[in-house]
Amino acid sequence: MSQPASVDYVFDFSSPFAYIGSRRIEAVAARHGRRVHWQPILLGAVFKVTGGAPLIDTPLKGPYTKHDLMRAAREHGTPFIWPDIFPISSVAASRATIWLRDNDDDALRARTADFIHAVFAACYAENRDISSPEVLATVANALGLDADLMMAGMSDRVVKDRLRSDVAAAIEKGVFGTPTIFVDGEMFWGSDRIDQVDRWLERGGW
Amino acid sequence: MSQPASVDYVFDFSSPFAYIGSRRIEAVAARHGRRVHWQPILLGAVFKVTGGAPLIDTPLKGPYTKHDLMRAAREHGTPFIWPDIFPISSVAASRATIWLRDNDDDALRARTADFIHAVFAACYAENRDISSPEVLATVANALGLDADLMMAGMSDRVVKDRLRSDVAAAIEKGVFGTPTIFVDGEMFWGSDRIDQVDRWLERGGW
C-alpha cells in the first residue's frame, strides 16, 4: 500500500525554532492529505561543513532572534522556557527517533511523532537534559515505550549510519539551519515559513 | 492637530526584501488606523558598526535567500527583476526621501510614499540605476515633482545630517538589517514579519 506524499521536516532537537514548528507542521500537512516525514539532523555537523553558526550566537541578531522566538512561542500558545543546558547535544535523541521511525514494528513506527513531541517538550517546556539517555528512557517509559529496547536500538550500527547519512543528505540538499521543510523538493527554511508552506500546498506552488 | 500613531518602516533602498515589504506595509498600518513613518537608512553604515553582511552574500544562506525572495515576490504578485547594479548606493535616494518627508510644504510631504514606491519600482521592476541623481530626477518628474528643487534639497546640510542621525538612531535601537518595523517600540525584522505585525496591531500585542 503506498503512503501519502510527505512533507519532510528536517530538524535538530537543539533548535528551539524547530520545536515551535514541530507543533504546527502535522496539522498543515494533514490539511493537504500529507504525512510528515521527520528527519532529525545534527546542526553541529552541518555547521562544520557550511561554516555556519547558531543564529542565537550572532551579534545583535542573537538577542533579537531570542526575542522573536519568545514572541512566536507566545503567539502560538507554545509553552517555552529557555533550557539551562543550551545548546544541547541531540545525538542520542536523534538516534532514538530514527530507531522508531525506521522500525520494522508498525506499532513502534506509529509512535515516532509522539516521541519527538515528548522529547521537545522535555527540553523546552520542562527544562530537562535531553542529551542524557536516562532522560530519554524516562520520556520513552512515560509514553509506554520499552526504554531498554530503545536504548539497544540507539546503539545499532544501522541507526547510527542512518543518522550520519541523513545529515549528509540534508547538507547535500542545501540545509544550513532548522527547521527546514521540503515539499516535493521545494525548500522552506524556518518555522516562520509554515504558513507559506500551507499556502504552497493549497495552491500547488506558484 | 495630532497625527495618528505610526508604524515605523526602517528600510534601505538597496534591500530587495524592503522593496517587497514596502508594497504591503501601508495597507496593514491603515487597517489599524495608523500611518507609516518611512525611515530610509544606509545598511552599509549599519554593517560597519555591527559587523553584519548582506544575507544575499552569505554562503548557502545566500542562494536560498535569493530563492526565498523570488518566491515571496511571486506570491505577492510583486514585479521583480534582479537589478544589474547590486548592491546599489542608496545615499541619494535616501536624502531625496528625507527631503520630501521632512518638508515644510504639506503638498510635498504628502508625496513621500509615492516617491518611495516609484524609486523602488525603478530599481526592482525596471532595472534602473537609482544611485544616479539623474535617474531620481526622472522619477521625480514623472510624479510631477520639481526635480531641480529636489536636487537642491538633497544637498541641504539639514537633510544630510538627518540621514546620518536616522542611521545612528536605527543602530541604537538594534537594527541590523531591513526592513525593520517598529510598532510602539516593538521591533520586527523582515518583510516576512508583516502578517505578524498585522496580528500584533489587531491584538494590541501579546
Can you tell me the ipTM of this complex?
Answer: 0.92
Whether B77 and chain A come into contact, CB under 8 Å, resolves to no
Nearest-CA distance A17 → chain B (Å): 15
Q: Is the pTM of this model over 0.90?
A: yes
pLDDT at position A130 is 98
B59 has a pLDDT exceeding 80: no
Query: What's the one-letter identity of residue B20?
Result: I
Please tell me which of the candidates B50, B192, B195 has its beta carbon nearest to residue A59. Answer: B50
Average of pLDDT values for B38-52? 90
CA pair distance B52, B44, nearest whole angstrom: 9
Cell of A136: 530519554
The alpha carbon of residue A75 is apart from the nearest alpha carbon of chain B, in Å, by: 7
Name the residue among A74, A174, A176 with its Cβ closest to that of B206: A74
Tell me whether A77 touches chain B (CB under 8 Å): no
Best of B48, B60, B172, B189 to disrupt the A interface by mutation (most A CBs within 10 Å)?
Answer: B60
What is the pLDDT confidence band of residue B49, given thresholds at 50, 70 and 90? Answer: confident
A-B interface: how many C-beta pairs under 8 angstroms?
51
- Cβ–Cβ < 8 Å for A100, A109: yes
Quick one: which H or E segment has residue A39? strand A35-40
Whether omega for the bond prior to residue B87 falls within 30 degrees of 0, making it cis, is yes
pLDDT of B102 higher than 90: yes
If you measure CA to CA, which chain B residue comes closest to A65? B189
CA-to-CA distance for B98 and B106, rounded, in angstroms? 14
Inter-chain CB proximity A174 and B60 less than 8 Å: yes
The predicted structure's pLDDT at residue A1: 53
Question: For residues A135 and A48, what is the distance between their CA atoms, to the nearest angstrom?
Answer: 27
- pLDDT of B57 > 70? The answer is yes
Please identify every stretch of chain A with a pLDDT value under 50, giving residue numbers as ranges.
Answer: none
pLDDT, average across residues B66-81:
96
A61: contact with B, CB 8 A cutoff: yes
* Partner residue facing B75 (CB), from A59, A177, A206: A206
Give the span between the Cα atoms of B99 and B166, in whole angstroms. Answer: 13
Check if the beta carbon of residue A55 is closer than 8 Å to that of residue A176: no
Asked if the Cβ–Cβ distance from A51 to B64 is below 8 Å, we say no
Residue B2 has pLDDT above 80, yes or no: no
Residue B1 has pLDDT above 70, yes or no: no
B193 touches chain A (CB under 8 A): yes
What's the start-to-end Cα distance of chain B, in Å?
30
DSSP string covering B138-199: HHHHHTT--HHHHHHHHT-HHHHHHHHHHHHHHHHTT--SS-EEEETTEEEESGGGHHHHHH
Q: Which residues in chain A have Cβ-Cβ distances shorter than 8 Å to B193?
A: 192
Residue B104 has pLDDT above 90, yes or no: yes
- Give pLDDT, residue B68: 96
Q: Which of the four pLDDT bands, split at 50, 70 and 90, describes residue B24?
A: very high
Cβ–Cβ < 8 Å for A8, A37: yes
Q: Is the pLDDT of residue B55 over 80?
A: no
Half-sphere exposure of residue B6, counting CA atoms within 13 Å on the CB side? Answer: 12
Write the burial class of residue B183 (CB in 10 Å: 0-12 exposed, 13-18 middle, 19+ buried): buried
